[in-house]
A and B are shown apart, each in its own frame.
Chain A
């Protein structure tokens, strides 16, 4: 075999490449796989949160807001603990962003609440004087796309083994089960349950009425998503 390889430099080069690649994979992959495991306290997105995530992407929130807290005192003072790679385990795609025109949102669920988001989305400058963020009033009337959110849930559960309907360990030692519907109607019912909790804390009567009718406005979905960022 070696004599043959010696006389065929191309295949010899291929062999060398394979050997070195294998060595590289053995060294890099286990560490990488370890770091990419979800950290304790990171749960998959629920149907409503995923729909909100789609609203976030649709409106390009990530163009102005990052989701990545770097390990600097100045950042952790403002945004909380620096980000860990395992916290993005269920982010497809991750929304690190590349520029902070607005603040980082990695842990916004820790220090902003539903009613604040409602005021802020309606008119950002009313709570943050001088804010250049535009108002997102259409979110109060547009309906969230639960179908797509459910389709994504099904896909990631099947292809990436995202643990829906299974207990996920939380930081306080308890565990949390994120539900995924068995059918699209089931998924919509679950999302509506979540939406009712959010709408209860909101002031906008039109949104409350819509949720009572069984509709889910985008604002409810995106608030659910923002509240889940912890």
Chain B
């Protein structure tokens, strides 16, 4: 018997012993567990097949000599036998060509995936869900949504309580403050361009006493018989904002309180006023703007 086979058998036995020991011997869980048995059987098969296939080819290298018909071409003494193409190899070759065509045209992973594509799908799914889920939202729920949007987007300037953080931004707990009214009278206001395209020119009022009267009238909530009512009418405020500051669509915003339309209009165009500049919030969708409007309206009630 060839020495090689002997070594092969010894090596196989050694590997099988290692396998047996590494799974913990017969106490290890081989007893009766079908999965473990299968795994060990597979390991044994692998070892035996590997060892004997290697031996076969090593033997072949030792004893075989080249034979067969040589091709006519000869390159510096190196020749080639005229062997048939092995069937298995040929079949695999053509299958790989077919697979390659499929892979390059259809199967290539980058053809099917892009990060931006996944992002677009995410956004579409989210927007569709938002649409259906909040289509008929109103009342309490709308205010709640507005509060959460407010806490995400608005609170960095207006503060958690919407009080404007010591005058750093507008106090949203009341419709309008004296400083903002004075600024608008002196400079005009052209903030809400989309909904009130005309804008507001600097007003005719110049007498400080009259301005103070108007400011008092507006900030105290347009009370009946207030001394500022006359100045309010005389200054031309009523022409656009209405007699009681109720506002007019497309002409002048409501002044006697917040409503959804006013807030949405400010969110749409941003604002530059007495205190500073507020950016526009294009990223909020219409429903979110409405919700913020509902929340802010609810604050001053």
**Residues of A at under 8 Å CB distance from B?**
71-73, 76-78, 80, 82, 110-116, 119, 126-129, 201
Interface residue B279 (Cβ < 8 Å from any Cβ of A):
yes
Q: How far is the CA of A111 from the CA of B123 in the complex (A)?
A: 21
A interface footprint on B267-288 (CB within 8 Å = 1, 0 otherwise)? 0000000011111011100000
**Residues of B at under 8 Å CB distance from A?**
115-116, 118-119, 122-123, 126, 152-153, 156-157, 160, 165-166, 168-169, 275-279, 281-283
Q: Please indicate the chain A residues that have their CB under 8 angstroms from the CB of B157 in the complex.
A: 116, 127
Find the residue from A73, A112, A114 having the highest chain B CB count within 10 A: A73
Q: Please indicate the chain A residues that have their CB under 8 angstroms from the CB of B165 in the complex.
A: 126-127
Q: Assuming A112-B156, A113-B276, what are 6 further A-B pairs, CB within 8 angstroms?
A: A73-B122, A77-B283, A110-B279, A113-B279, A115-B275, A119-B168
Closest 5 A/B residue pairs (Cβ): A115-B276, A71-B119, A113-B277, A73-B122, A111-B279
B251 to chain A, nearest CB (A): 27
Q: Please indicate the chain B residues that have their CB under 8 angstroms from the CB of A71 in the complex.
A: 115-116, 118-119
Q: How far is the CA of A119 from the CA of B275 in the complex (A)?
A: 12
A120 to chain B, nearest CB (A): 8
- Decide yes or no: A201 and B119 within 8 Å by CB, A77-B283, A116-B156 being known contacts: no
When C-beta atoms are compared, the residue in chain B nearest to A126 turns out to be: B165
Q: Please indicate the chain B residues that have their CB under 8 angstroms from the CB of A119 in the complex.
A: 168
The answer to whether A73 touches B119, judged by C-beta atoms less than 8 angstroms apart, is yes
B243 to chain A, nearest CB (A): 34
The answer to whether B279 touches A114, judged by C-beta atoms less than 8 angstroms apart, is no
Q: How far is the CA of A76 from the CA of B282 in the complex (A)?
A: 12
Q: How far is the CA of A82 from the CA of B122 in the complex (A)?
A: 14
Q: Please indicate the chain B residues that have their CB under 8 angstroms from the CB of A127 in the complex.
A: 156-157, 165, 168
Q: Please indicate the chain A residues that have their CB under 8 angstroms from the CB of B115 in the complex.
A: 71
- Sample (30) of A-B pairs whose CB atoms are under 8 Å apart: A71-B115, A71-B118, A72-B122, A73-B122, A76-B119, A78-B152, A82-B119, A111-B153, A112-B156, A112-B279, A113-B276, A113-B277, A113-B278, A113-B279, A114-B277, A115-B168, A115-B275, A115-B276, A115-B277, A116-B156, A116-B157, A116-B169, A116-B276, A119-B168, A126-B165, A126-B166, A127-B157, A127-B165, A128-B156, A129-B160
When C-beta atoms are compared, the residue in chain B nearest to A80 turns out to be: B283
When C-beta atoms are compared, the residue in chain B nearest to A74 turns out to be: B122
Q: Please indicate the chain A residues that have their CB under 8 angstroms from the CB of B118 in the complex.
A: 71
Q: How far is the CA of A111 from the CA of B166 in the complex (A)?
A: 20
Q: Please indicate the chain B residues that have their CB under 8 angstroms from the CB of A113 in the complex.
A: 276-279
When C-beta atoms are compared, the residue in chain B nearest to A118 turns out to be: B276
Find the residue from B166, B169, B283 having the highest chain A CB count within 10 A: B283
Q: How far is the CA of A127 from the CA of B276 in the complex (A)?
A: 14
Q: How far is the CA of A126 from the CA of B166 in the complex (A)?
A: 9
Q: Please indicate the chain B residues that have their CB under 8 angstroms from the CB of A114 in the complex.
A: 276-277
A7 to chain B, nearest CB (A): 14
Q: How far is the CA of A114 from the CA of B14 in the complex (A)?
A: 79
Q: Please indicate the chain B residues that have their CB under 8 angstroms from the CB of A115 in the complex.
A: 168, 275-277
Q: Please indicate the chain B residues that have their CB under 8 angstroms from the CB of A80 in the complex.
A: 283
Q: How far is the CA of A77 from the CA of B149 in the complex (A)?
A: 11
Find the residue from A110, A112, A116 having the highest chain B CB count within 10 A: A116
The answer to whether B281 touches A111, judged by C-beta atoms less than 8 angstroms apart, is yes
Q: How far is the CA of A112 from the CA of B156 in the complex (A)?
A: 9
When C-beta atoms are compared, the residue in chain A nearest to B160 turns out to be: A129
B18 to chain A, nearest CB (A): 44
When C-beta atoms are compared, the residue in chain A nearest to B121 turns out to be: A73
Q: Please indicate the chain B residues that have their CB under 8 angstroms from the CB of A110 in the complex.
A: 279, 282
Q: Please indicate the chain B residues that have their CB under 8 angstroms from the CB of A82 in the complex.
A: 116, 119
Q: How far is the CA of A71 from the CA of B168 in the complex (A)?
A: 33
- Decide yes or no: A201 and B122 within 8 Å by CB, A119-B168, A127-B156 being known contacts: no
Q: How far is the CA of A126 from the CA of B163 in the complex (A)?
A: 13
B290 to chain A, nearest CB (A): 18
B138 to chain A, nearest CB (A): 23
Q: How far is the CA of A114 from the CA of B118 in the complex (A)?
A: 36
A169 to chain B, nearest CB (A): 21
When C-beta atoms are compared, the residue in chain B nearest to A116 turns out to be: B157
When C-beta atoms are compared, the residue in chain B nearest to A108 turns out to be: B279
When C-beta atoms are compared, the residue in chain B nearest to A131 turns out to be: B156
Q: How far is the CA of A46 from the CA of B138 in the complex (A)?
A: 47
Q: Please indicate the chain A residues that have their CB under 8 angstroms from the CB of B278 in the complex.
A: 113
When C-beta atoms are compared, the residue in chain A nearest to B153 turns out to be: A111
A166 to chain B, nearest CB (A): 29
A122 to chain B, nearest CB (A): 11
Q: How far is the CA of A175 from the CA of B275 in the complex (A)?
A: 31
B265 to chain A, nearest CB (A): 18
